[in-house]
Structure 1
Amino acid sequence: MSIYNNILVVLDPSVETQKALNRAIELVRLQGGKLTAFLAVYDFSYEMTTMLSGDERETMRQAVIKDRELWAGKYMIAPHNIGIDIEIKVVWHNRPFEAIVLAVLEDNYDLVIKGTHDHDVLKSMIFTPTDWHILRKCPCPVLMVKDNEWRQGGNIIAAVNAGSEKEHHLSLNQRVISRALQMATLLQAETHLVNAYPGTPINIAIEIPEFNIQEYNSTMKHHHFDAVAALAKQFDIDAKHWHVSEGIPEDVLPKLAKKLNATMMIIGTIGRTGLSAAIIGNTAEHVIDRLDCDVLAVKPANFVCPLHKD
């Protein structure tokens, strides 16, 4: 079964172990598909060489690209690859995330695989990391790889927002569950549905003394449980694999992932950009740093990439 036919894996020259490449090779061995190893390079000094003509600077850039292709093949691909044909793609670009997204748009990759690490919370509020840009703008699913290995027979978590009636959430729920079931089949794993729902707003409980907190919480819990049950029945997921918990996703999802010994979490991201992204961020971004398992982020079916060029 081939889920992804054209995979782009992002190389990281700053580390010795290419965990994203290892994961990509493992995925291709399990399901087949074409694999391209990607690297964006840039040297500002080449752009500042005013004594050279535009053609001469382009020749120098191409020489650097060729050198990095040879280097990547020898030192990054060869030690990690046995028996898999991997194309190497090196581009000259000063913004790696944009280079990745443009490559997806140009060559129709259906999955991007990239290693990730913990982001400094304060810096992330000011400077959006490359990972976050990719999550927001990449039109195809993005698999963020952590240090843990895939475990045959482990658990796959589909993180859904079952209580929402918004169209993009309804679309994402369907896509998240479908991807989770596909990966579960591939890895011989079990699929679990996880849904977090908000508790009683504190300000309401304080400002309205007669407000019935217990009744509100009970109503909210039943609403989300019924919504999860309806989703699960569409995909024939057993009730013992439904998890409905009170709390914000950033707290609930990591705890359940650890409790369920998850190999991977599938999560939807709406691709929020601009000021709202800087201030609020996206649920997927807040959750990823707190998970020990891989995260597969998917977009709604009608997602329009902000970098798309007609």
Structure 2
Amino acid sequence: MTEYQKLLVVIDPTTDTQAALARAVELSIPNKASITVFLSIYDFSYEMTSIVSHQEREAMRGGVISQRKAWLEDVLTNYRQEGITINTNVVWHNRPFESIILYAIQGSYDLIVKGTHEHDKFKSVIFTPTDWHLMRKAPVPVLLVKDHDWPVAGKILCAINVGSEDDAHQALNNRIIEHAIQLAAQFDAQVHLVNGYPGTPVNLAIELPDFDSYAYTETLRMQHEQRVHFLASSHAIAVDCCHIIEGLAEDVIPDVAKQIDAELVILGTVGRTGFSAALIGNTAEHVIDSLNCDLLAIKPEGYRSPLADD
């Protein structure tokens, strides 16, 4: 797997403190990676101004973009004084996630870095947050940054799925761990694996009085443990760094991340879109608000964004 050589940082226009940019700079230093900060802006009121001509609306939009570019230069002042080269791009677009993904594809970026915050659960069903769109549709890894330091000798937690032995799941598990190992080498971090396995279905215990729920759960636990340990040994990860816990992934992952004080959780996303995404969602979307650390979302090898065909 190649190192992150081109980083695309999504700027938050509501604050002068850019956690995503600070994290990108940390990531860029060892590999001397290039950084581009990207800001997508849109004001519907400018489109509704019918009393002015098309040329005048274009001029107003240009004025807003120029103001934002000047603001960005102020934000970047300290980094520029430290000799860090950072490119900038400000665009006018009414769908931020779309402009970010298309720019990342066109520029062949290796990583999208964006600050994140807690999302209102009800509103998220109706108005999907930009973070969710990026995790679902971006073909490159997406790093969602929170206010949590990346200390030297810290911990990186890989959320893996060993419930299925099909090639696609195994390939994604390996891809997740490879990203973790690469980052661990940069920051002298320790790689951990976490896997949640299901408990006994309630209906089985009720419908089958002689059903041995303990034996069933133990068999599942041992099966998952064996698969996780095999995966760990193939990547030279210590058994002590493997966490196999009964429960749903969206509950187990944040609990273990808090327990070991991880600075980063890495997991795979399947790119589910449309109606099924609204109803089911991805594990990444369920856990992002429960984590107190960064989240790196990885797509399967060869994933093609639906926006690439637009």
What corresponds to 1:9 in structure 2?
9
In structure 1, the partner of 2:251 is 251
Q: Distance in 1 between the 2:10 and 2:18 partners?
A: 9
Question: What corresponds to 1:224 in structure 2?
Answer: 224
CA distance in 2 between counterparts of 1:48 and 1:298 reads 39
Q: Distance in 2 between matches of 1:105 and 1:53?
A: 34
Partner of 1:145: 145
How far residue 116 of structure 1 moved from its aligned partner, in angstroms, is 0.6
Partner of 1:174: 174
Partners in 1 of 2:166 and 2:135 — Cα distance? Answer: 21
Is the counterpart of residue 91 in structure 1 residue 96 in structure 2? no
- 2:248 paired with 1:269: no
Q: Deviations over 1:9-47 (max 9, x none)?
A: 011111232111111111112332110001001122332
- Mapped to 2, the partners of 1:50 and 1:251 lie a distance apart of 51
Which residue in 2 is equivalent to 1:37? 37
For the 8 Å contact 1:172–1:268, the answer to whether it is kept is yes
- Specify the SS of the correspondent of 1:251: helix
Number of aligned residue pairs? 309
Which moved further from structure 2: 21-30 or 47-56? 47-56
Distance in structure 1 (CA, Å) of the matches to 2:53 and 2:223: 66
CA contact (8 A) 1:157 1:265 kept: yes
Residue 117 of structure 1 contacts residue 289 of structure 1 at CA under 8 Å; is this kept in 2?
A: yes
Q: Deviations over 1:73-112 (max 9, x none)?
A: 11x2224553210001101101111111111111111100
Report the residue type matching 2:171 in the other structure: S
One-letter amino acid of the structure 2 residue matched with residue 173 of structure 1 = N
Query: 5+ residue gaps in structure 2?
Result: none
Q: Distance in 2 between matches of 1:167 and 1:48?
A: 51
TM-score by length of 1: 0.94
Q: What residue identity is the alignment partner of 1:77?
A: L
User: Structure 2: how far apart are the matches of 1:35 and 1:90?
Assistant: 14
Q: Name the stretch that deviates more: 253-262 or 76-85.
A: 76-85
Alignment of 1:196-235 (within 5 A): 196-235=196-235
Q: Write the mapping of 1:156-171 to structure 2, written as runs, cut at 5 A.
A: 156-171=156-171
Instruction: Report the 3-state secondary structure (helix = DSSP H, G, I; strand = E; otherwise coil) of the residue aligned with 2:214.
Output: helix
**3-state SS, counterpart of residue 303 of structure 2:** coil
Change in CA separation of 1:2 and 1:137 when aligned onto 2, cut-off 3 Å: closer
Structure 1 window deviating more from structure 2 (36-45 vs 48-57): it is: 48-57
Alpha-carbon distance in structure 1 between the residues aligned to 2:45 and 2:239: 60
Q: Are positions 1:308 and 2:298 aligned together?
A: no
Query: Is 1:132 paired with 2:132?
Result: yes
1:284 counterpart letter in structure 2: A
- The answer (yes or no) to whether the contact 1:265–1:295 under 8 Å persists in 2 is yes
Report the residue type matching 2:199 in the other structure.
G
CA apart distance, 1:2:
7.5
Runs of 4+ in 1 over 3 A off after TM superposition: 49-60
Instruction: Return the TM-score normalized by structure 2.
Output: 0.94
Q: Which residue identity lines up with residue 247 of structure 2 in the other structure?
A: G
